[in-house]
Amino acid sequence: MAGKYYNLDSMLKPKSVAIIGASQSPEKVGHIIMQNYFNVGYSGYIYPVNVGGDDTILGRKAYKSVLDIKKPIDLAVIAIPAKFVPQALDECGKAKVKSVVIVSSGFSEVGDTALQEQIVSIAKKYGLPVLGPNCLGVMDLRSRVDTLFLPTFKIDKPSIGGVSFASQSGAVGSAVLDLISHENFGLSKFISYGNAAVIDEADILNYLAHDPDTKVIIFYIEGVKRGKEFIEVAKEATKLKPVIIIKGGITPAGTSAAHSHTASLAGSYAAYEAVFEQFGFIQAKSLDDMLYFAKIFEAQPLTTKKRVAIITNGGGVGVLAADSLYLNGLEMAELSEEAKKSLRKVMPPIVNMSMPMDMAGDADDKRFGAAIDVLSKDENVDALMIISLFQTPGADSRVAATIIKYGTENKKPIVVVSPGGNYAEVHNNMMESSGVPVYPSPEDAAKSLAALVKYSEYRERMGSLDAKDKNNKKSKRDNK
């Protein structure tokens, strides 16, 4: 598909960056962006550009135009008022800049389609990949590129990992970025693409589908510029890796809101749902679900089988878990006689061998470890749901460590349910940072497991489910 879709390497792994609109004034977007590059330890060249004519900006020699730089520029970030953008972009083209991010707003989203058309024709003239306008730009934790101009103390920085996130909306983007860190999974790339004047959904999906650092794609879209191309790319992408989509504007109310937001044609709910289903997208119906799904796909192996074993240190939550398996189309595992015999030896007499297995409130790391060990090996079990209530006397950091040991083996998908406050959270962070997905309720865990199974089935139907996907050590740890 070469030639049809933009390659974004120069934008996401630039060796040199020009910041057009860089400034000595700390409140200016261009200043914040430039400071960001220093803060994250970007090791390439940075060239501040400002028509004002300062000699230096933030200690670096400043230029009046990119044309004055006379060195190769991989990425130019444009952060100046909308009306000056066309000229700056044209100069980027002349200077043979390889890619451009326009963060400025004031284009089609406020009704000025003429100004946006100008951008498009300049980009086409030079064959220039242009992101935006009206966007936050890009962030890549590995190459230390960061064009975001949001106050850094307000957003927790995610760790490096395998999830890439693309968002039409900058607001959804910044909130989700913050949530990714909160949920302790690892980010590969963040792409906020705003009005999608030049680079659109199809380009981004195509790039991320072939990006080796991206294991999971999450995508907030309101509309799609090139429907045919998007589907063409999607067919290939969803065979390679999970693509989780949340669609803004799926109802009449939302569609009209989306239209006034980015002036994109939002399309009908039914049409989108059918497309999602047909082409193997994983549809998230809320922000929560999007994050919950990303968490399991980043760290756990795929499986088309759905017999789930539940172990718990609290009976009632086990009951809710049994309900939630059923409601999500999963099955409760029936242990093999051999597994029951092994468990009988290590469990106290009070523990019943039927599922969900209630190991009682005093279950400690030894009891959890013995149970998980047996169930991991039982051929009647395809996936494990481990309910660890850290409010109980037996559950502590050793239980978390035991779960991590098995939860990162990637033989069978393992999900953990751990609702609670501060004490639980310390342990949830511990497990999640190691690549074990933790959920606040059995319902969330079951929904995520069901999404994993459904996507695995799609991959199997498409003939693209390899043994390595089912038993693949693809935790964050490998990506560091």
Q: Which of residues 414-473 bind its own copies (CB under 8 A)?
A: 419-424, 440-444
Interaction of residue 179 with its own copies, rule CB under 8 A: yes
Q: What is the DSSP letter of 66?
A: G
Identified binder of its own copies from the candidate list 18, 62, 166, 176, rule CB under 8 A: 176
Find the shortest distance in angstroms from Cβ 349 to its own copies: 9
Selection from 46, 196, 65 nearest residue 135 by Cα: 196
Which two tokens mark 156?
């927790």
Go through 162-188 and write b for each residue having 16 or more CB atoms within 10 A of its CB, e for each that does not.
Answer: bbbbbbbbbebbbebbbbbbebbbbbb
Alpha carbon distance 97, 85 (integer Å)? 15
Q: Are 85 and 133 in contact (CB under 8 A)?
A: yes
Q: Tell me which H or E stretch contains 256.
A: helix 252-262
Identified binder of its own copies from the candidate list 41, 43, 260, 270, rule CB under 8 A: 260
Q: In the window 188-217, what residues touch its own copies (CB under 8 A)?
A: none
* Part in contact with its own copies (CB under 8 A); list of ranges 56-64, 338-346, 352-360, 371-379: 352-360
- What x-and-dash track marks residues 327-346 binding its own copies by CB under 8 A? x----x--------------
Q: Which is nearer to its own copies, 90 or 365 (CB)?
A: 365
Q: In the window 5-44, what residues touch its own copies (CB under 8 A)?
A: none
Tokens 């990303």 identify what position?
Answer: 294
Q: In the window 42-101, what residues touch its own copies (CB under 8 A)?
A: none
Find the shortest distance in angstroms from Cβ 340 to its own copies: 15
Q: In the window 145-164, what residues touch its own copies (CB under 8 A)?
A: 150-151, 153-156
The phi and psi torsions of 464 (rounded to 5 degrees) equal -120, 25
Q: Tell me which H or E stretch contains 92.
A: helix 85-94
Identified binder of its own copies from the candidate list 1, 67, 110, 271, rule CB under 8 A: 110
Q: In the window 356-385, what residues touch its own copies (CB under 8 A)?
A: 356, 358, 361
Interaction of residue 326 with its own copies, rule CB under 8 A: yes
Identified binder of its own copies from the candidate list 12, 34, 100, 177, rule CB under 8 A: 177
Direct distance between the N- and C-terminal alpha carbons of the chain, in angstroms, rounded to an integer: 30
Question: In one letter, which amino acid is 327?
Answer: L
Find the shortest distance in angstroms from Cβ 269 to its own copies: 9
Strands 145-146 and 137-140: antiparallel
Selection from 443, 299, 310 nearest residue 371 by Cα: 310
Identified binder of its own copies from the candidate list 219, 220, 455, 458, rule CB under 8 A: 220
Selection from 446, 404, 445 nearest residue 428 by Cα: 404
Q: How many residues bind its own copies (CB under 8 A)?
A: 81
